[in-house]
Amino acid sequence: MKHSYPSYNRSPALRQLYKYVWIFFLLLFLITLIIPTMIVFSTGSGSIAMNKSLTSSISQKSSTVTEDNKISSFSVNKHVSPKESPLSIGWVTGNNNNSITQDLSAYHNLKVVSPALVSIDNQYNLQVNSNPSLINTMHAQDKKIWARFIINNDTKSNVHTFLSNPSKTQEIIKKIHQVSLNNQWDGINLDIENVRSQDRDLFSQFVKSLSNLLNQSKIVLSIDLPPDSKGSNNKYGPFDHKIIGNYCNYIIFMGYDQHWSTDPVPGPVTSLSWLKENVQEFTKTGIPPQKMILGLPAYTRVWQQDNSGKIVKNPATSVQYAEDLVTQNHRNLTWNSTLGEYYTSYTANNRVYRVWLPTVTSFKEYLDLIPQYHLAGSAIWSLDLMSASYWNQIF
């Protein structure tokens, strides 16, 4: 049976037109199919590119943040002054200005010198012993001067008489401020120790007034405080730790004498365990640790007892002298880790000699308390008893 196809019955021109129409629709179909696919792949490819770009951007941003943090950190660190090394102070006894200036340049890391330059005499008038050459020499050596302020006749009775006279105390305070400015002193070291417990408030008021005036001229006020012997959390002692800690720039804890010359039983002038105990008490009773300076003795005692055990003599000698004495006499030394120092005893001339001997090792252990308790520094009493060579082994 023969099939009939209508298209073949159409004219050639019409068939040619149909052909172009089919091609057109085919092309349209292909375009409709291919272009979205291209768009999808292009978008995907673009997404990958964009993601790479974004990743790169994030990476760059992250890098920028890191760099900014570094810059910010560097900038902050640059403006924040580095932590200062601890203060190192040396007291100098006597009034001879020539002896004060001799050889102090040989003491390494000695930052503050405190000579007795100002005092109250028996008539409660201010006496000043200073001269420009002293100040110029110390400042040329990059050392600060904290003039030590004392009462010549330092008895509880004299101190009471002075403190209980408001007009006299105000007069002295104004004069101290003026002579500090005139002599270019960097600070005042208040060394009045024989204060009665009953004069606690009077002494606190004196410290307040002196501090307020000196502070106006940025003159440092430090004070020397003995251990609180009352053992009552500073409630009844002569020195109010909270007020003093608030008004003084620095508080020097006098880490001596653990055993005084009047003690009936011999013992060390200072020791590691005793220093720790007192530093802890000071910080608990109102002395900010960052204001506290650890005062250390450059001396010890050679205790002498008779056959009955009675103390016959106990002269204070420099640590160096005692060390030489023990070494020259070939005495055996025993290290006491609790005390942080050596001990020896021997018999000679019908007497028993006992010596508690700090050494360079001892001083280094004492000074380790400074970072341990976050203290401001140390002070040595006194440079007259410690040579530069010995000092340099410690500092």
CA gap 323, 317 in Å, rounded: 10
Q: What is the pLDDT of residues 131-183, one digit of tens each?
A: 788 889 999 999 999 999 999 999 999 999 999 999 999 999 999 999 999 99
pTM for the full predicted model: 0.78
CA gap 200, 241 in Å, rounded: 10
Note whether 191 and 148 are within 8 A (CB): yes
233 band by pLDDT with thresholds 50, 70 and 90: confident
Q: What is the pLDDT of residues 276-304, one digit of tens each?
A: 999 999 999 999 999 999 999 999 999 99
CA gap 106, 270 in Å, rounded: 26
- CB neighbours (10 Å) of residue 59? 10
